[in-house]
Amino acid sequence: MSAKGYVKRIPLEEYTVQNRGGVGSKSMTTYEDDDVEKIVTTNTHTDLLIFTSFGKVYRIRAHQVPEMSKQSKGVPFINLISIEKDEKVISLLSVDNYEQGQYLFTVTRQGVVKKTPLEEYSRINRNGKIALGMREDDMLIKAMIVSDIDEIIIGSSKGKVVRFEASEARSMGRTATGVKGIDLSDDLKSKVVGASKTTQGKYILSVGQDGFGKMTEVNEYRMTKRGAKGVKSIDVEKAGYLKFVEVVNGSEDILIITKLGITIRTTLDQVATSGRGAKGVKVISLKD
């Protein structure tokens, strides 16, 4: 999906694996003032939960998104769901089922988290419902499915990561605002750039804005209480501000997208494993 609200479906096999440090290929042609915003891996029979800047959520089937070439611009979300004129799509979540005991866990740019029973979202349609009560100057960063035994990690642009148990966030209704997940008070410019759960793997992948990335074992990040300031995850002085953080198992292929729509697909076994304070290795070569 693009920042201006265009979306399309592309077969994954169209992306060939490249060595790390490659220059990538074009994943989406965008309009001059538009940028690539997000890529979601899914299948055609899965539900897509679509979250917007108004704190609403919409539900469609993945096959309803038109399949197009890498070079096409896609179609506007307004063709698929009943969004309002100034409503912007923020996040997509692929959902296979709505089992009891599972929760939708949301994380906002200002570090606010909320946990809501997943079944509350099973009957949503293309007209949408309220997903979370966000503050006016906040926005959604991540939505994921968790259980109470999961551990959550949240990363900030200043290179800090907090790790805590999902059970520390009490269950709330769809329209609630949530509680503090990470303390960003040390720097007013700091914002959340990513969140994940540790059951996805044993490493935390950190990527800086200058194209450097690395994997660090989850166990190097000490457990804290929800709302803590976190620990250092990458050397921002050398790698640039943290732009992406995710838990991985170390054998996946990853897609990295620049604001110009350039994408590289590479295998994580080419990304070095190093300590929390390192800058990592070059994973994509950025053009001026």
Find residue 237's DSSP bridge partners: none
pLDDT at 138 over 70: yes
Alpha carbons 208 and 240: distance in angstroms, whole number:
5
Written as one letter, the residue type at 163 is R
- CB-count exposure of residue 137 (10 Å: 0-12, 13-18, 19+): exposed
Written as one letter, the residue type at 85 is K
Q: What is the token pair recorded at 210?
A: 């200058």
Q: Which of 57, 102, 99 is nearest to 81 (CA)?
A: 57
Average pLDDT, the chain: 85
**Topology (CATH) of 6-282:** Neuraminidase (2.120.10)
Average pLDDT over residues 229-246: 89
Q: What is the pLDDT of residue 16?
A: 59
Written as one letter, the residue type at 1 is M
Of residues 242 and 28, which shows the higher confidence score? 242
The domain limits of the chain are 6-282
> Among all chains, which residue has been given the structure tokens 């917007």?
52
Confidence of residue 288 (pLDDT cuts 50, 70, 90): low
Alpha carbons 239 and 208: distance in angstroms, whole number:
5
Average pLDDT over residues 256-265: 76
Written as one letter, the residue type at 145 is I
pTM higher than 0.85, yes or no? no
Average pLDDT over residues 219-235: 93
Q: Which residues contact 224 (CB under 8 A, 6 or more apart)?
A: 162, 163, 164, 230
- CB-count exposure of residue 169 (10 Å: 0-12, 13-18, 19+): buried
What does the pLDDT look like over 1-22, one tens digit per residue?
877 788 998 887 776 555 555 5
SS3 119: helix
